[in-house]
A and B are shown apart, each in its own frame.
Chain A
């Protein structure tokens, strides 16, 4: 095989230039093969940051029709690829150099891993000859990312680039999706090899051998569903991943089953649908969690009974039979022991299940649905958004108004914390992939970069960042990226001067010992201005809608700094380790519970 030794680098560069016209017949460098393979996989944008060990790859980029978004920190690259993938359903790609470039990706990779997001990260690595010698900017990134990737690879030869990258894409999107990292040594980037995209096709992916749904189980499940009097569908991220929103809806409508969503499932089942209950779990509305606790059948669709969803397991839905439809066999009986497991792709399983279910009599609504409906009234009177304007600005107002102004049609990318929960409560998502948020890992700093990825994936869609003042500052450097890429991105900072969720926990569980949770922030409008990004600060409820309109009509990034009530809390709240029905409710007069301006 051709190697860099046989072909002096100058000759090979010239040769490669010509060869891009005839990709299948002539030798290319590993770097060129990488881009050609990415292009072949349908990639038209990558998010990255150059550096020594990845420079051959950057040098070859200009020959390929792929857009490169220069980030300000590699964590941003990973989150952007993640946001891109979540918004588009395609595989997101991040590129970084060796050493610190690679380690900076790790938080973003773990975020994608916990939320099962398909992503391929390409990292440069020192030359294979010096691997393991602590060479400059060498780090064992495959070792470091082993537990937070679905799989990872080291490539040390140009001829292995195409097949490894193609396999990485297959692994990333097959079964339960996840991030895959490909670490390519510098000599593999520079070496020459034949490139044949078709010949590099990976073997068909081995499905998980435990992935099978038996017809007997389907029949048993159908029987349980037919006989259930108080069923609830628990809809998770798998509904979006599998594209099974339609099937879940058919199941719900046909059998009149209310649908509760996990945080990542929001949008998969329309929030405006009469059978939608909203988000379940720690900050779910009271009626949702009560319905789950009282139900006699839970139908879990692509969700994993996370601890934030179940509360303490000992008392979780004690009277309910459980059907678990899940693509990952390792999730079965992990947290909650289930009665029937239907292991497989959600859409396929539901399509097999639905023919066994005759529609329920539609002339009268089921008493169960009526009962839940009746319980909503009690919650609405506590709902802060229904209270008269008292001169105080609450995050709930901001998000509720944002929802009204955008008619619920925007892609909203949130950070992590109180604003994230308020978003989930007050922004009603009717379309899948319109809420992008870090669920499993709970990564602060996610919103801005992920929104950049989402906007690039969906340039025609309105995209809003909703971030807290804490999380926003973690990755605020990506404002430059948004400005450089001239993205029409709207940014709402819900600014309460605290690490709000930390403060809330300190208030509830640590006797208001606000240790290290107050934070002083820069003037975000001035910060944005320094990036050439306009913005305004909002203090009154009446100013919310005009500011939102200003952001929406402005072409390019726009920031709104919402100075909201400092010591408001997210209600209801189920303390960690408590039962799902043991929730802390909003005090009856929420307007007196606030800080010094009250």
Chain B
């Protein structure tokens, strides 16, 4: 199954390698990884999506914490959260076929950010399924996709779930976020559907 981890890490050279190397060593494929500044100076925020067994969450989080540069880890897969991805899609389109693409972009609430005689570029933000929906429709429409650049998933928990709140909510002993999250995350699917924008 897909797990989504948010890791706050020190903004230092080599930290990305250490995190990536950990997944490599565990033989877990990283589906997407986004890194950028966080709200704290000197601290980067990583969103890591990986494909691993349902029971591996504890071990991945515990192993991430063993890296000296990792400050905080949350598996938010089962928690109510907002997930977004940004994609730039370049489509082959002539002046006569453009208007069709414009219409599609309108439906998907995407924007046209570049226009050239033979092509145009679409910017779309949303959950993965929305982006994949647009790509599928473009393909079915016969519009030739020239290039796609996607950021990968970035996520944030809903509500005021700062690290401290999370910590206070955590139940004793072995019960890692997973188990707590299983209870909480029941309304997650509904929210996801809403975010999809359909």
Residues in chain A within 8 A of chain B (CB atoms):
142-143, 146-147, 150-151, 171, 206, 208-210, 212-214, 216-217, 328-330, 332-334, 340-343
Contacts and interface: CB of A to CB of B under 8 A. Distances in A.
A150 B68 CA distance: 8
A171 B67 CA distance: 11
Contacts of B18: 146
Interface in B1-22: 14, 17-18, 21
A333 B18 CA distance: 23
A147 B67 CA distance: 11
Given A147-B25, A328-B66, A333-B58, A217 B17 contact: no
Nearest to A216: B172
B174 interface: yes
B90 to A, nearest CB: 34
A209 B173 contact: no
Given A143-B17, A146-B17, A216-B173, A330 B68 contact: no
B14 A142 contact: yes
Contacts of A143: 17
B59 A330 contact: yes
B34 interface: no
B94 interface: no
26 contacts: A142-B14, A146-B17, A150-B68, A151-B67, A151-B68, A171-B68, A206-B71, A209-B65, A209-B167, A210-B65, A212-B173, A214-B172, A214-B173, A217-B174, A329-B58, A329-B62, A329-B65, A330-B59, A330-B63, A330-B66, A332-B174, A333-B59, A340-B174, A341-B173, A341-B174, A343-B174
A477 B58 CA distance: 45
Contacts of B67: 151
B149 interface: no
A-B pairs with the 10 shortest C-beta distances? A214-B172, A330-B62, A329-B62, A217-B173, A151-B68, A341-B174, A214-B173, A330-B63, A216-B172, A208-B65
Given A151-B67, A171-B68, 5 more contacts: A150-B66, A208-B65, A217-B174, A329-B58, A334-B59
B21 A147 contact: yes
Interface in B43-58: 55, 58
B58 A332 contact: yes
Interface centre among A216, A217, A330, A341 (most CB of B within 10 A): A330
Contacts of A217: 172-174
Interface in B39-90: 55, 58-59, 61-63, 65-68, 71-73
A146 B55 CA distance: 26
Interface string B149-183: 00000000000000000010000111010000000
A343 B25 CA distance: 24
A210 B75 CA distance: 13
Nearest to B71: A206
B164 to A, nearest CB: 12
A213 B175 CA distance: 11
Nearest to A151: B68
Contact of B55 (A333, A340, A341, A343): A333
A592 to B, nearest CB: 46
A305 to B, nearest CB: 13
Contacts of A340: 173-174
A233 to B, nearest CB: 20
A416 B71 CA distance: 38
Nearest to B17: A146
A15 to B, nearest CB: 32
A333 B61 CA distance: 13
Most buried by B among A212, A329, A340: A329
Nearest to A334: B59
A169 to B, nearest CB: 13
Contacts of A213: 173
A333 B56 CA distance: 9
A156 to B, nearest CB: 11
A150 B66 CA distance: 8
B4 to A, nearest CB: 19
A208 B73 CA distance: 11
Given A332-B174, A333-B55, A210 B62 contact: yes
Given A210-B176, A214-B173, A217-B172, A146 B65 contact: no
Nearest to B172: A214
Contacts of A209: 65, 72-73, 167
A340 B65 CA distance: 21
Contacts of A210: 61-62, 65, 176
Contacts of A142: 14
A332 B172 contact: no
A171 B21 CA distance: 19
A154 to B, nearest CB: 8
A393 B21 CA distance: 49
B21 A332 contact: no
A494 B71 CA distance: 49
Nearest to A206: B71
B161 to A, nearest CB: 15
